[in-house]
Chains A and B, each alone.
Chain A
Amino acid sequence: MRIPDQFVMPTGYVGHSHFWERAMSRRQFIGTTAAAGGVALSSPLWAPLLAEAGGTVEPKPIPQTFDGSPFHFQFLTPTTEPSSITDFRGVIGGADLTGEGWGTDTATGETTHMFTAVDNRFMKGTYIGVDGRRHEATFGFV
């Protein structure tokens, strides 16, 4: 996947291509999910994340895939695994939510009532990275 033009890959992070990868659809925006990775260097708010991301070793996906697809995740249910990374131990939160909101055409100011659906999860703790070593970090599934 491509990198947004206005974003700059942090030094030392070239090997982690998926950090910048984001698949958020208008339907996700307005539909299935709500957030994700990537960093806008224009914002000072990102300085801490850049520092953290610069040293991040990529985690490994869980072995389970969704319904025969190549995607390593499971839907949130009382019996399925909420984490998307394996060799992990820590705190996790997941939420499958529906809601409402307002979209605005910024050119005309016209607003539209919209419905939303979100599946967001965080995983904060210890993991064994692709380098075979233990690390501490927080990941988001979005």
Chain B
Amino acid sequence: MFWTNRVPNSGVHGEEDEGEAGVSWHVKNLALFDYFSVANALVDGASIDAMVSYRLRWAGDGTPLTADDGKNFHFEGRRTTATIAWSAHEAGFSFRSDPSPSTQHTNFAQVGEERNGVFYSADD
């Protein structure tokens, strides 16, 4: 699996915010490697241990979004905006994101339901 890992079930929450139902994903103290560059990561080059925590939140508003390639997957949900607050630590270095929404930009965010593979055509 490419950069896909098991995470705690309890980390994902639906939440109400001023009447809008958003979704949040909270991860605390995840251990990982800092490979210094994406290219180095892809070849499993030199790395050091690191730890990261973050809270990612998808807003409750947005526009309906359906995506379906006709054979692999069907997604139905909404396109929305998201914000993240995160921090990371490793030997000799730490990082903390600026939590201000004014310094963040959503290039693309979506939340919804997907079915794919053997579930692509399933009605149940």
Q: A52-B6, A64-B72 are in contact. Are A92 and B31 (CB under 8 A)?
A: no
Number of interface residues of A (CB under 8 A): 94
Contacts A/B (CB < 8 Å), 17 sampled = A7-B31, A23-B35, A28-B38, A30-B95, A46-B29, A62-B73, A72-B2, A76-B107, A88-B119, A91-B12, A95-B109, A97-B109, A101-B98, A102-B95, A138-B6, A139-B5, A140-B4
Of the candidates B6, B37, B73, B84, which one forms a contact with A34 in the assembled complex, judged by CB atoms under 8 Å apart? B84
Q: A52-B6, A124-B12 are in contact. Are A93 and B58 (CB under 8 A)?
A: yes
- Are the C-beta atoms of A1 and B33 separated by less than 8 Å? yes
Q: Please report the C-alpha to C-alpha distance between residue A58 and residue B1 in the assembled complex, in whole angstroms.
A: 8
Question: For chain A, what secondary structure do more than half of its interface residues adopt (helix, strand, loop), or is it mixed?
Answer: mixed
In which size bucket is the chain B interface?
Answer: 35 or more
Q: Please report the C-alpha to C-alpha distance between residue A4 and residue B49 in the assembled complex, in whole angstroms.
A: 6
Q: A29-B34, A138-B9, A141-B3 are in contact. Are A99 and B67 (CB under 8 A)?
A: no
**Contact residues in B for A37 (Cβ distance below 8 Å):** 5-7, 30-32
- Are the C-beta atoms of A92 and B84 separated by less than 8 Å? no
Binary contact track B34-67/A, C-beta < 8 Å → 1, others 0: 1111101110100101111110101000000101
Q: A78-B65, A93-B58 are in contact. Are A99 and B2 (CB under 8 A)?
A: no
Identify which of residues 83-114 in chain A touch chain B, using a CB-to-CB cut-off of 8 Å: 83-107, 114
Q: In the complex, which residue of chain A has the Cβ closest to the Cβ of B44?
A: A1
Of the candidates B12, B49, B95, B97, which one forms a contact with A6 in the assembled complex, judged by CB atoms under 8 Å apart? B49
